[in-house]
Amino acid sequence: MNQLHRAAFAACLLCAFPLGAQAQPGTEPITVGQSVTGSIGAGDPHVFGRGAFRVYRFQGAAGQRLVATMESADFDTYLIVGRVVGPLMDELKSDDDSGENTNSRLRVTLPENGTYLIVAQSFAEDGAGAFVVGLHPAPEPTTGQARPIAVGASVTAELTETDWTDEEGDRLYDVWTFRGRAGQRLTARMESDEFDTYLNLGRMENGRFVSLATDDDGGSEGTNSRLSHVLDRDGEYVIRASSYGDEGGAYTLALQERIARAPQPPRPLPAGQRVSGELDEDDPVLETDGSFYELWSYQGRAGEQLRIRMDSDDFDTYVAIGRLDAGCGDFEEIATMDDGGDGTNTLMEITLPEDGEYVIRANSFSSGQTGGYTLVVESARDGAME
């Protein structure tokens, strides 16, 4: 729910059930560990394109980990947990159908001591009937032991209610560790038929997890995850195998090393000719940030004015122009540009300092970004820049 929806809902809730009084007239009490039955119908308040709702209140403590559920055989449920802030409700979590079928289930960690509200609602405007709302302690993590995974291996495991949860208390995750080396190209894949997977690759620094790369639905099918990354240093790395929401279940995790293609010589790029290319995981990477690139060559003249455009619908483009060192073949950068074009596309204008062959590096702005792109060089000597 965005801020506008949240404000509108809070206003409607305030009108239906004034929240300022300690007892909150119009709300019903519920305690942790309790399930209560209720019903909604045409005579109950409605709000914001969804159906009727009822409101329950409870007292909570900072750091308390809870699971709220709503079940109904009569309608598609929708559940919101929020806290009382003055006369308003600040939404913390909401859920449509993370429970079985069209039932709702959410996990929440309370931010502070105080009064909290559960809004039990129909997802559809015409939903009506009986329901059961439950509020119970979340199971304490007891199966969160880190496990090793070797590069080249595939493992099977299960996310359960007793696994770790992330910093917001939302996502269950398992921890897998491996040792890597600087420059190593790795691809992690996570697949499940039972939940939407989520991968987070990082390392521990000063006792805290530092994320380096994440992926939700980068797998080839459905809601599976696929994450590629080039390691920046030797050491131990951590994979958090997680769910995108509150769900758990069985999954497989595979960690593979990818071998880069041998560097290809720059391809010629005549002025005014738009060419197509594609960055993929077999392309060379920059040692500075692990981003993929391809090289193109252009024969230029001293004083020639160029406009270089690189466009992509798949990634944030980045262009560098320079020369190749005649001795060692290293790229010697003259100028770079990130944006300048529409959106995250690149537009660079440059005046060449001397005659000779120039190399244009077509690059992604960030590590791991892949996809198709187009590249064109326009020259003032051909009148293309007028």
Distance, CA of 33 to CA of 209 (rounded, Å): 32
Cβ–Cβ under 8 Å, residues 38 and 120? yes
Length of the chain: 386
pLDDT of 8 strictly over 70:
no
pLDDT of 275 strictly over 90:
yes
Q: What is the mean pLDDT of the chain?
A: 86
pLDDT of 296 strictly over 60:
yes
pLDDT single digits (tens) 13-65 = 555 555 444 445 468 999 999 999 999 988 888 776 788 899 999 999 998 98
Domains, the chain, in order of start with CATH, read 3-137 (2.60.120.380), 147-257 (2.60.120.380), 267-382 (2.60.120.380)
pLDDT at 12: 54
Q: Is 43 left (phi over 0), alpha (psi -120 to 50) or beta?
A: alpha
Mean pLDDT of 202-224: 84
pLDDT at 10: 52
pLDDT single digits (tens) 115-163 = 999 999 999 988 999 999 999 998 776 666 899 999 999 999 999 877 8
Distance, CA of 53 to CA of 301 (rounded, Å): 72
pLDDT single digits (tens) 329-367 = 789 999 999 988 888 999 999 999 999 999 999 999 987
**Structure tokens that stand for 288 in this block:** 């500075």
Query: Residue 91 CA to chain centroid, in angstroms?
Result: 21
pLDDT at 107: 85
pLDDT at 221: 64
- pTM for this one? 0.61
Which residues is 333 bridged to in the sheet? 322
8: phi then psi, degrees, rounded to nearest 5: -65, -40
Burial letters 257-270, b for 16+ CB under 10 A, else e? eeeeeeeeebeebe
pLDDT of 7 strictly over 50:
no
Distance, CA of 153 to CA of 191 (rounded, Å): 14
pLDDT band at 325 (very low <50, low <70, confident <90, very high): confident
pLDDT at 4: 39
CA distances, 128 to each of 103, 255, 297 (Å):
14, 48, 68
pLDDT at 22: 44
pLDDT of 111 strictly over 80:
yes
203-211 long-range contacts, Cβ below 8 Å, gap at least 24?
A: 203/235, 203/236, 203/237, 203/238, 204/236, 204/238, 209/238, 209/240
**Structure tokens that stand for 170 in this block:** 């939302």
